[in-house]
Chains A and B, each alone.
Chain A
């Protein structure tokens, strides 16, 4: 079976130790995670894990089942990129002091739809948002200007067809439980 880029999305209770339980499902099967993001959802107390990995659909399916088995996981499912709207954010710190170069950097930033977050005499910090390929290509461009420190977030994604939190946990059920 073909290996693809797949993204697992999981709604969970926000409890101590859950991250550990989730990553164990991957370590057990010797799977490497490409990126991981955890954040609170629109609902207080409920988190959303977004886990990108490269594997077969059959494996993703088994992993999702195993994730669903964790008591505090409300629902997990996987998606292909075509069913996702996703992005990553990257920050770049370019060491550059030559005024001329700074000017041309400013225009490169604008052309690429990035933003300058902070600028001093020694460095410029730039933020860019996009898919991984683009963020990495932008890094190569910046590296021509000077030594560049780079950090990229995990993927955040919303699905076009995935199950919604409200279907899983109707709002009134939550009200009556809390």
Chain B
């Protein structure tokens, strides 16, 4: 089977977009030693790091840097968002596709606190972003100065690393450290807070040293061959092996290695929500999605496999259900870069603390070619059962209104499974995860760990900057659409072809589903009176359309995809459709309900 890898495709397209702004080699670009302002040094650091776009919002405490951004406009593309939360999520979207740090820049006080949600989101979803906030002058720190917030205090719990710069001379070193920490080992968000005096002060610019040595930080553990041998032994003698593919596979770009292992060892595999798109849907050994709203087989058979191989995933409780009952019969191999994730939730038999790609490359030659036809057939049988009870009725609905799954399937067909899909949070997210049929191997960007409503619209904008040659489609609930609705303004101003589908059920659907199933249909504050979304879009200068009838769905989606520039397609869907199958709260994964 041959699948093209978008990771390599992506790289090429990126270098060509970045090249326009980042043309000269470092050495020639800036003179050997110069005296420049801290603000200019900040901009130069960004350019040195190869940043080509940053998302931000100005204010008093960051104005010196904005003045430099004005001067360096030909080299750094600053995008003015409409709310700092949007800047953070856009940087996340950019980072998730390029696998390089996304950057956002904000002012002190409210500017910085508005970034807390994206920082928390990026920390949970291992996303490298570097956020810069202005701060009151150093001599006013701690005095409740105008727009002063203790940014280090506030962001410590939501960052991988943070630092307050109070002297201009610290800038080059701290920026190099920030970018290095954000994107090495397990990626994550970094916050740099810079007092205003450090932006005005001068420093001697002596060039820029990226990837500095940080002696207390060892991000990439070496592959231990004895562990790999133990893992190979377990896999080679397994009768019912099962592989869990997580976001770490996308982060380490190990999609090819994962597929080789699936094929060579005959291991069926399933993806976590964040790992989706690592394996194309039509791969014969791909069994679907794990977890609460995943596919039936991968949940049910988690309690029957004899060897469980988890790669770059952290056994989130949405995956395991009640963790103490998860796959207790299985020997567990966990390939994971962050040692604190190993044995955190599920006890391992063989712990491989390493980068996924490096570990799999070491493992593959030790794996015997094998098949497990009877075992794979068990998954296929589950798939048939799920198809009869859920998938079929979802896709070929005879209800009056459209259902979310049929919309996603149609979109999938029209985009040949190659688009970058950016769902928001809720039922529509689950429908997108379950029904988009990836043919590419890197095209899924959503907020999983924090589940931040409002993520999708700005994140999709970030994706559009990251991959200008791919279709980027945000799939958004009517509730979520109103959480970052102001970013329509940003998208309109950039004119980038971000396609936004609103799946409008006039409810906070995911919460309503729980109210229906577990709170005796008491719909406590989940029904929405919505605005006319298309009028709003048009007000922002973005074209759009509302469609209610199934018969018009395909044409409407095609028109949206063909439209030059951004577009909002509002689809009115069934109000009270539920996402099934489902692992009810308090149950184990193998107790999944089909209806």
Contacts and interface: CB of A to CB of B under 8 A. Distances in A.
Interface of A: 12-13, 16-17, 20-21, 24, 28, 61-62, 65-66, 68-69, 71-74, 169, 173-174, 177
Nearest to B347: A58
B476 to A, nearest CB: 32
Contact of A65 (B160, B161, B340): B340
Contacts, number: 39
A177 B216 CA distance: 12
A13 B157 CA distance: 19
Contact of A71 (B164, B217, B338): B217
Contact of A24 (B156, B181, B214, B338): B156
7 contacts: A65-B339, A71-B161, A71-B181, A71-B217, A74-B215, A74-B216, A173-B215
A62 B340 contact: yes
A31 to B, nearest CB: 15
Given A17-B152, A71-B181, A169 B161 contact: no
A65 B336 CA distance: 14
A75 B215 CA distance: 11
Contacts of B157: 24, 28
A73 B339 contact: no
Contact of B216 (A12, A28, A61, A65): A12
Given A17-B156, A24-B156, A68 B339 contact: yes
A62 B340 CA distance: 7
Interface in B129-186: 152-153, 156-157, 160-162, 164, 181
Given A13-B216, A62-B340, A71 B156 contact: no
A20 B340 contact: no
B162, B214, B215, B217: residue with the most chain A Cβ atoms closer than 10 Å = B215
B27 interface: no
A24 B216 CA distance: 19
Nearest to B190: A71
A89 B480 CA distance: 57
A66 B214 CA distance: 18
Contacts of A65: 339-340, 344
B156 A20 contact: yes
A20 B161 contact: no
Contact of A68 (B215, B340, B343): B340
B129 to A, nearest CB: 16
Contacts of B160: 71
A20 B153 CA distance: 8
Contacts of B162: 17
A177 B156 contact: no
Contacts of A13: 216
Contacts of A62: 340, 344
9 interchain residue pairs of minimum CB distance: A65-B340, A74-B216, A71-B161, A71-B217, A72-B216, A69-B340, A13-B216, A66-B340, A17-B152
A74 B214 CA distance: 10
Contacts of B213: 177
B213 to A, nearest CB: 7
A68 B216 CA distance: 9
Contacts of B340: 62, 65-66, 68-69
B344 A71 contact: no
Given A24-B156, A69-B338, 8 more contacts: A17-B162, A24-B157, A62-B340, A62-B344, A68-B340, A71-B160, A71-B161, A72-B216
A7 B216 CA distance: 21
B177 to A, nearest CB: 9
B154 to A, nearest CB: 11
A28 to B, nearest CB: 7
Given A62-B344, A71-B181, A21 B216 contact: no
A162 B338 CA distance: 22
Contacts of A28: 157
A144 to B, nearest CB: 46
Interface string B205-226: 0000000011111000000000
A119 B218 CA distance: 53
Contacts of B344: 62, 65
A42 B389 CA distance: 68
A99 to B, nearest CB: 51
A162 B57 CA distance: 49
B153, B164, B340: residue with the most chain A Cβ atoms closer than 10 Å = B340
A69 B126 CA distance: 13
Contacts of A73: 216
Nearest to B152: A17
Contacts of B215: 74, 169, 173-174, 177
A75 B387 CA distance: 51
A116 B199 CA distance: 55
A66 B338 CA distance: 10
B153 A71 contact: no
A164 to B, nearest CB: 16
Interface string B284-298: 000000000000000
B339 A21 contact: no
Contacts of A16: 164
A72 B162 CA distance: 11
B70 to A, nearest CB: 33
Nearest to B344: A62
A19 to B, nearest CB: 11
B152 A71 contact: no
Nearest to A58: B343
B339 A71 contact: no
A169 B164 CA distance: 26
A12 B157 CA distance: 18
A62 B214 CA distance: 24
A24 B123 CA distance: 15
B153, B156, B162: residue with the most chain A Cβ atoms closer than 10 Å = B156
Contacts of B164: 16-17
A62, A65, A66: residue with the most chain B Cβ atoms closer than 10 Å = A65
A62 B342 CA distance: 9
A12 B216 CA distance: 8
